[in-house]
Chains A and B, each alone.
Chain A
Amino acid sequence: MMNREELIELLPLYALGHLDPEEKLAVEALLRDDAEARQLLDSYRLVQDTFILGTPLRQAPAHLQADLRHRLAMENAAQGPTQVTRRPLPADLASQQPTQQMRKPALRSRKLSRPRFSSVAFGGVAAALLLVVALLAFLRLGDNPVREYAQIIAQSGAERIAVTSLENFGIQGELVISADRRAAVLALSNLPAVTDAQTLQLWLAQVEPPIVVSGGLFRPMPAEDGRTYLTLPLDRPVDGYLRFSVSLEAEGGSQFPDKPTGPRIVVVAL
């Protein structure tokens, strides 16, 4: 058992987040009861925050400001009152379930857990990735998105978010989210014609860690009601995501694991 003096000595490492779990618990126990220790920790944190000023400075690229405006405009388009509306599920909507004979879209499994590629190694890894994609080409995510959609909208407390497209693609549809927030299905109509040399790619932007991951490649496969249904491959509750989007890509998908290469045609901001 460490005494107070030893624990005080550990405060710099605690401020840096570099203590063993046991040491961390002991320091936190001290901090709960010792105002002087808390004050000392605050002073270490202040110095630590100031350390950032030692960064060598360089000019940000000029195009970033236009990019930011574009991102804001895209979110605005997706969230505007005429384009995205959140509404509680009316009780009678459950009766409008699509038939289970509707076909599900061919969503290819291409989910990447995280971008881990250095630029140098990227080319080789991307080639390997494409091979894996080809091998998995016939695996489908989501057992039956049409059925899942029907099950979700039948739930009390489900959420429906109306979706329209960006850049005048004319896409319409909705995102339905289950009551427990752990399942979601996108239903999209008027998806653009996709040639053999093209594909659509789903993207999921996480809150923490703040990264974007691919949710898979797919092609428009309209069900009987004309909509293409996609079960989103969530690995956390929906609230762990900032937005979902769909991009139009060359065959094989984006050349980047963590962002589209082609234009985004749908963005659903949460």
Chain B
Amino acid sequence: MQPATDAELMHRVRGRDQDALVELHARYASLVFSVAWRVLDEQGICEEVTQDVFMRLWHRPEQYDPAKGRLSTWLMNVARNLAIDRARQRQSHNPRTGLFFLDENPDLTEALLASDGLDAERQMLWSVVAQLSDEQRTALELAYFHGLTPLEIASVVQAPLATVKSRLQRGMQKLRDLWLSEKT
């Protein structure tokens, strides 16, 4: 029997079917946990963030709009936002950079991404991100995975604010152009 699609499971979640939520958890908890870990690097809080993401899906399933993308990437982005909120609440936060695609277990990566067809997209992202300068990549990592403002990034990387803003702007523009050209 074919496994249920995400759309089918979401339909059941909207109908208050707890088993459907647990099945989505089995499918995507590791992706969500990975994002929390990327931001927070603290087991207990990462576990809480992971559970909060799925409880949010349970309480507010209408917040996910299938027209705007995959459920998996939506869940990961919710996890990122929640994790950044948690990071801001901590007294000390030491944002780490240079961690793109540093998977501990390639087999796990393959297993986690294959089911949703994300592996090809991830490969493409890898080739695109590799074409950014180190400075642009670092600025984007700090802004995206840690929610740092340009001023905060300037403090972390010891660079003028205008330079940081320029790195973010140019980095995003380059990413977009490369991404669209890869897609076509």
Asked if A67 and B51 sit within 8 Å, CB to CB, the answer is yes
- Report how many A-B pairs have Cβ atoms within 8 Å: 163
Asked if A54 and B22 sit within 8 Å, CB to CB, the answer is no
**B42 interfacial by beta-carbon distance below 8 Å:** yes
Asked if B59 and A242 sit within 8 Å, CB to CB, the answer is yes
Asked if A64 and B50 sit within 8 Å, CB to CB, the answer is yes
Number of residues on chain B facing chain A (CB within 8 A): 72
Q: How far is the CB of A35 from chain B (nearest CB, A)?
A: 18
> In chain A, what residue has the closest Cβ to B178?
A47
CA distance A176 to B105 in the complex (A): 51
CA distance A10 to B82 in the complex (A): 26
Asked if A54 and B100 sit within 8 Å, CB to CB, the answer is yes
Asked if A116 and B89 sit within 8 Å, CB to CB, the answer is yes
Q: How far is the CB of B124 from chain A (nearest CB, A)?
A: 8
B168 contacts which chain A residues (CB < 8 A)? 12-13, 16, 18
**B138 interfacial by beta-carbon distance below 8 Å:** no
CA distance A67 to B44 in the complex (A): 13
Number of residues on chain A facing chain B (CB within 8 A): 45
Asked if B77 and A49 sit within 8 Å, CB to CB, the answer is yes
Q: How far is the CB of A83 from chain B (nearest CB, A)?
A: 16
**A48 interfacial by beta-carbon distance below 8 Å:** yes
Asked if A16 and B144 sit within 8 Å, CB to CB, the answer is yes
Contact with A along B73-88 (1 / 0, CB 8 A): 1001100101001100
**B140 interfacial by beta-carbon distance below 8 Å:** yes
Asked if A117 and B143 sit within 8 Å, CB to CB, the answer is no
Asked if A44 and B176 sit within 8 Å, CB to CB, the answer is yes
Are A259 and B48 CB-contacts (below 8 A) given A51-B144, A210-B56?
A: yes
B71 contacts which chain A residues (CB < 8 A)? none
Asked if A47 and B172 sit within 8 Å, CB to CB, the answer is yes
Of residues 50 through 86 on chain A, the ones whose CB sits less than 8 Å from some CB of chain B are 50-61, 64-65, 67-69, 71-72, 76
Q: Which positions in A face B, CB cutoff 8 Å?
A: 9-10, 12-13, 15-16, 18, 43-44, 46-61, 64-65, 67-69, 71-72, 76, 114-119, 121, 209-211, 242, 259
Would you list 6 pairs from A and B whose C-beta atoms are within 8 A, ordered by A residue?
A: A9-B169, A18-B168, A48-B172, A50-B179, A53-B121, A59-B33
- Can you list the 7 inter-chain pairs with the closest CB atoms, starting with the nearest? A12-B172, A60-B33, A60-B29, A60-B30, A54-B100, A56-B102, A53-B122
Q: Which positions in B face A, CB cutoff 8 Å?
A: 18, 21-22, 25-26, 29-35, 37-38, 42-44, 47-48, 50-52, 54-56, 58-59, 69, 73, 76-77, 80, 82, 85-86, 89-92, 99-105, 108-109, 112-113, 118, 121-122, 125-126, 129, 140, 143-145, 149-150, 165, 168-169, 171-173, 175-176, 179-180
